[in-house]
């Protein structure tokens, strides 16, 4: 359950930068609405730390969000897909798999 909470929190975390980018041409008040996306993240992470170590939760959350944002940026926004960047993403994913395997849950 804790890992599902992390994944759901990452859905919100991955979405907000793209929402913010799409709102740059609108008023600042619309951009502030993106902050509301962060509210569910805190509740979901709180549930995760009840079952997993805080360091594992934060590292998994940040890693999934980083990889997810980079992948979506490459797939939909034409961001760079050079070999060094792809290798870095693979390393993040391997690290996340390691956290899951060795977390004890």
In tens, the pLDDT along 1-16 reads 899 999 999 998 898 8
pLDDT at 17: 82
Which of 38-42, 63-67, 81-85 is predicted with the least confidence, judged by mean pLDDT? 38-42
Region 29-57: mean pLDDT is 84
Domains: count for the chain: 1
Burial of 52 per CB tally in 10 Å (0-12, 13-18, 19+): buried
The residues near 77 (Cβ < 8 Å, ≥ 6 apart) are 18
Domain of 97 in residue numbering reads as 2-102
pLDDT at 31: 65
């Amino acid at each position: 359950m804790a890992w599902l909470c992390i994944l759901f929190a990452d859905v919100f975390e991955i979405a907000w930068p793209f929402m913010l980018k799409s709102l740059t041409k609108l008023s600042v008040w619309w951009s502030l609405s993106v902050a509301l996306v962060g509210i569910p993240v805190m509740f979901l992470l709180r549930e995760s730390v009840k079952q997993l170590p805080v360091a594992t939760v934060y590292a998994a959350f940040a890693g999934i969000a980083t990889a997810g944002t980079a992948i979506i940026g490459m797939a939909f926004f034409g961001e760079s897909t050079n070999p060094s960047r792809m290798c870095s993403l693979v390393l993040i994913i391997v690290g996340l798999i390691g956290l899951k395997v060795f977390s004890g849950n």
